[in-house]
């Protein structure tokens, strides 16, 4: 038998380790199977507020009405002029950006309680961490600007009406 054949036989009969994981595949499976749901949720958390804010921006600054959003604004104008349900429009205009702030803040904030932090016995810590995700932070800031602009607008309008 030549050296080459000998080596090939050795490789062919190579005894390899039997890898048979028993515990961790269940955990990996659970994480993977819920991945799509989190990814979809993450998409909507960003996409819906983005679309809403883009429409608000275009409506107020360029006076452009984007399909259903323009119709929604017309409807809210109509509601504003109807006695009894005139409170709906400001609620929609303030509540939606606030919802946007809340969902984006929840997406980047992580709160957890820690017992004996750093090995100190008896110590308790409440840890709040904020992930620096650009998109979420930008959306929160834009929503805050809209809410504050709306509040400032309502206050100045009330003052001017009274005076």
Binding site for other proteins (CB under 8 A): 3-4, 7-8, 10-12, 14-25, 27-36, 38-39, 110, 112, 131
Of 33 and 161, which CB lies nearer to other proteins in the complex structure? 33
Least CB distance to other proteins at residue 145 (A): 27
> How far is it, in rounded angstroms, from Cα 52 to Cα 69?
8
DSSP string, 49-109: HHHHHHHHHHHHHS----HHHHHHHHHHHHHHHSTTSTTHHHHHHHHHHHHHHHHHHHHHE
User: What is the smallest separation between the CB atom of 7 and other proteins, expressed in angstroms?
Assistant: 5
Q: CB 29 → other proteins: shortest distance, Å?
A: 5
Looking at the Cβ atoms of 39 and 145, the one nearer to other proteins is 39
CA-to-CA distance for 100 and 139, rounded, in angstroms? 7
Q: Which is nearer to other proteins, 4 or 83 (CB)?
A: 4
């Amino acid at each position: 038998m030549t050296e080459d054949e000998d080596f090939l036989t050795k490789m062919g009969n190579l005894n390899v380790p039997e890898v048979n994981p028993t515990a961790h595949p269940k955990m990996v499976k659970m994480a993977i199977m819920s991945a799509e749901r989190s990814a979809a949720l993450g998409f909507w958390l960003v996409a819906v507020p983005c679309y809403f804010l883009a429409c608000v921006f275009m409506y107020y600054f360029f006076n452009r009405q984007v399909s259903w959003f323009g119709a929604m604004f017309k409807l809210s104008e109509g509601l504003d002029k109807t006695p009894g349900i005139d409170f709906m429009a400001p609620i929609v205009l303030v509540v939606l950006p606030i919802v946007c702030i809340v969902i984006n803040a929840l997406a980047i904030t992580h709160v957890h309680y820690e017992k004996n932090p750093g090995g100190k016995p008896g110590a308790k810590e409440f840890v709040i961490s904020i992930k620096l995700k650009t998109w979420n932070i930008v959306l929160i800031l834009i929503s805050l600007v809209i809410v504050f602009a709306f509040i400032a607008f309502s206050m100045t309008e009330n003052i001017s009406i009274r005076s």
